[in-house]
Amino acid sequence: MKANRRRRSEKSNAPRRLVTTLGELISAAYEAVPGMGDQRLERALELLTHSPLARHMYPHVEFVR
């Protein structure tokens, strides 16, 4: 009897999509930066608006205060 084997699909060169909620993204940014209170909030906002990640997401998501 032949064993059933699944074929491996060839990996495409297309970038993989990351799916997350905006709340999780904001929480992760807040947890990633040092500081307390308003200072921490400002640093998280800076991370979300001026980082390479923010530039990559810009056409789709824009964080404003």
- Could you please report the per-residue DSSP string of the chain? -PPP-PPPPPPPSSPPP----HHHHHHHHHHHS---HHHHHHHHHHHHHHSHHHHHHTTT-----
- The answer to the question of residue 15 being in a domain is no
- The answer to the question of residue 4 being in a domain is no
pTM of the model: 0.59
- The answer to the question of residue 49 being in a domain is yes
CB burial of residue 1 (10 Å; 0-12, 13-18, 19+): exposed
Q: What is the pLDDT of residue 11?
A: 63
User: pLDDT (tens digit, 0 to 9) for every residue of the chain, 65 residues total?
Assistant: 566 666 655 666 767 766 678 888 888 889 999 999 999 999 998 888 888 877 777 777 777 66
Q: What is the pLDDT of residue 57?
A: 75
Q: Which domain holds residue 45?
A: 22-57
- The answer to the question of residue 38 being in a domain is yes
Q: What is the pLDDT of residue 35?
A: 92
The total of structural domains in the chain comes to 1
Q: What is the pLDDT of residue 48?
A: 85
Task: Give the long-range contacts of residues 3-10, CB within 8 A, separation 24 or more.
Answer: none
